[in-house]
Amino acid sequence: MTQLVIGTAGHIDHGKTSLVKSLTGTETDSLLEEKKRGMTIDLGFAYLNDNITIIDVPGHEKFIRNMTAGAANIHCGLIVVAADDGIMPQTIEHIDILNILGINKGWVAITKVDVVNDEEWIDLIELEIYEYLSKHNFQIFSCNRINNISGLGVDILKQNIFSYAQHFKSDESLKYFRMNVDRFFIKKGFGTIVTGTVAEGQAAVGDLVEILPNSVSTKIRGLQSHGKNTKLIYKGDRAAVNLLNMKLKNLHRGSVIATPKTIKNTKKIIAEINMIKNTKWVLKHNQRLRLHFGTDEIFGRIIIKNKKKIKKNQKVNCVLLLEAEIPVSLDEKFLIRSYSPMNTIGGGIVLVPSIDDDCLEKNNVIKKIPLNPKERFFFLVDSSWEKLKTFTEWKKIFIKYHDKIDEWFEQLGLQKSQSGAIFTLDSVERVKLKMKIFFKNYHSRNFLRNGVSIQTIHSTFDLPQDFVTTILNELIREKHIKLADGIYSLISFSKPSLTKLQIEQIDSIENFIKKSGLVPIEKKALENLKGYKPSQLLDLIYFLKSKNKIVDLGNDFFIHPNHLIVLLNYLKKYFTNSVELSVSDFKKISGLTRKTAIPVLEFLDKKKYTIRNNNVRMIGQNLYE
């Protein structure tokens, strides 16, 4: 039978702990301070049988943080309302919390019926509860009138819970394990123990797990569920996990135990924010908030770009900037409380668990992200056209739906490059348009050049190289661009006539390099020639290279082609009598210093005029061609 976890909810002193004791025989107020003050401070745990756990949560407003830690791990609610009080402030807040976390069904217990002893009054209280919960779409399995002193109504409630538990099944679970830690301690003879409710997947004794956000790896030494040893724990199980060689300093309430490398720590998420119906709070841009993820509480700020405020009962996609890194999962639900005074004001669901800084500026994209996972997958793939992700990367982001991604890929008509990048057909059209604009702007700024090298295109577009090549081939096929001598250009591009000044500048550089003879000229020397700007000089050099008026030796050295021929002739003559050429030999026949001889020799090796063998050169295959 699938394990069922029930959480109490209700105002302070409405009898939640007494009811749990009546149901299970367990006193959940175990702390000395709890007994002294007569109220629940921390979470309490009791077992109705081997498959049913009841988490008793505190009702006092000062301990709502502990209540939310318990609510993060439950399947159904047990809403407790005292007959002499009716619905009170913490009843309302607890119901809001359950609703935000998607817990929309359970039982109602009207306690202290012996105090009131007035059936008509209790009828009114019951009617009030039904009316209020119906507004929150909360399904009431049964409403039970309880006398905790005599035990009246307890057995009926217990049988109602047993009846539901027999047919209860948790949602389909991932193969990846995840559990939020609500307690941790050292047990003599065993070591570190953590407890929680399994949120996803399953785990077995001996499994390797990762403790987040500290990113510490360890093994599961032992497992218990409902106080009994077990080899496996599954989604929905209340479990105690014995961790091997784990120090308490690596744990806190809010830690997550997970299959290694399945959840990333993050400080920036995109989420759909849902304000509760009856809040008086209004969320503003950059407002500091208390955020409850799983069993953890963290501070963060909400980023609202175009929309100035978020009011009650509104749903808006926003960015949340957290003040520390925490492990966050796709579609994880969380609670939002005001910083001060502390009130529950809304909740949210994680749409994108981790984002880059540049995503913060894409408000038009953020506000349109769909809640439906399949639609969201397509939307995010389509929106990522300027920075494509691979199939593997998307599966990691949508790990909750990893087994459905392949099916979605086919159904949505997505495309995949050879390198595994995923994209839509619309993405191709957007990149083609952006590339045409790029070519147009490039030609206007660099009209002395014939076009663009593939290296420049790759450095401009942060896209997989095979995808860029596909786009370029498409543009060639559509007769928008052409490829000649490894250079891409618009078909419509034609160089304008050179101005008198440009002709003078080109001639000046060529003559300067020519006069240098066999000695290569450094780019620095050309910059100093007439105070050229770097971008202007590059264009002039490019033009001279395209007309074969200068030779680029690499390493920012240049030589005139006439003098390169002279140098090659010297080499041919040298090799008629010698097999090997040392650096000193080359310096003698060329008259160059070591500073200029080395870049020339490296150029000769590259062009296969020579072949380097350790510290000497031999004849290359292209020397006599």
Q: Above 60 in pLDDT, residue 14?
A: yes
Distance CA 590, CA 570 (A): 8
Residue 43 binned pLDDT confidence (cut-offs 50, 70, 90): low
Whether pLDDT at 62 is above 50: no
Whether 472 shows a pLDDT value over 90: the answer reads yes
Amino acid making up residue 488: Y
Dihedrals φ, ψ of 425, to 5°?
-65, -35
Rounded to an integer, what is the distance from CA 397 to the centroid of its chain? Answer: 7
pLDDT tens for residues 171-206?
666 778 999 898 888 888 888 999 888 888 899 999
Residue 41's pLDDT is what?
A: 28
In the predicted model, what is the mean pLDDT of residues 588-600? 91
Summary mean pLDDT of the chain: 86
Domains of the chain: 4-167 (3.40.50.300), 178-258 (2.40.30.10), 265-366 (2.40.30.10), 372-496 (1.10.10.10), 503-619 (1.10.10.10)
In which residue are the tokens 């913490």 written?
90
Give mean pLDDT, residues 52-81. Answer: 66
Q: What is the mean pLDDT of residues 530-546?
A: 77
The answer to whether the peptide bond before residue 260 is cis (omega within 30 degrees of 0) is: no
| Residue 74 scores a pLDDT above 70 | yes
Give the pLDDT of residue 291: 93
363-390 mean pLDDT: 92
Output the pLDDT for position 479: 95
Residue 237: burial class (beta carbons within 10 Å; 0-12, 13-18, 19+): buried
Q: How far apart are CA 84 and CA 31, in angstroms?
A: 28
Q: What pLDDT was estimated at residue 274?
A: 92
pLDDT of residue 39: 28
Q: How far is CA 276 from CA 129, 325, 333, 412, 619, in A?
A: 18, 27, 14, 34, 82
User: Residue 32: what pLDDT?
Assistant: 35
Give the range among 23-37, 114-128, 146-160, 503-517 with minimum mean pLDDT.
Answer: 23-37
| Whether residue 40 has pLDDT greater than 50 | no
Tokens standing for 86?
């009716």
Tens-place pLDDT, residues 190-199: 889 998 888 8
35: three-class secondary structure by DSSP: helix
CA–CA separation, 272 vs 278, rounded Å? Answer: 18
For residue 317, pLDDT beyond 90: yes
* Cα→Cα distances 508→203, 368, 515, 520, 537, Å: 76, 57, 11, 16, 12
Q: Are 602 and 555 in contact (CB under 8 A)?
A: yes
Q: What mean pLDDT comes out for the span 218-226?
A: 90
Residue 152 contacts residue 146 (beta carbons within 8 Å)? yes
Tokens describing residue 342: 């502390």
Q: Is the pLDDT of residue 35 over 60?
A: no
Q: What is d(CA 161, CA 165) in angstroms, rounded to the nearest whole number?
A: 6
- Find tokens 């109490």 and name the residue: 8
Name the phi and psi angles at 89, rounded to 5: -50, -45
- Of residues 528 and 290, more confidently modeled: 290
Q: Is the pLDDT assigned to residue 336 strictly greater than 80? A: yes
Strand order in the sheet with 452-453: 452-453, 487-490, 481-484
Task: Report the range of poorest mean pLDDT among 37-41, 189-193, 369-373, 504-508.
Answer: 37-41
CB 611 within 8 A of CB 619: yes
DSSP 495: P
- Segment 11-21 mean pLDDT: 85
Q: What is the model's pLDDT at position 172?
A: 60
Q: What is the mean pLDDT of residues 479-496?
A: 87
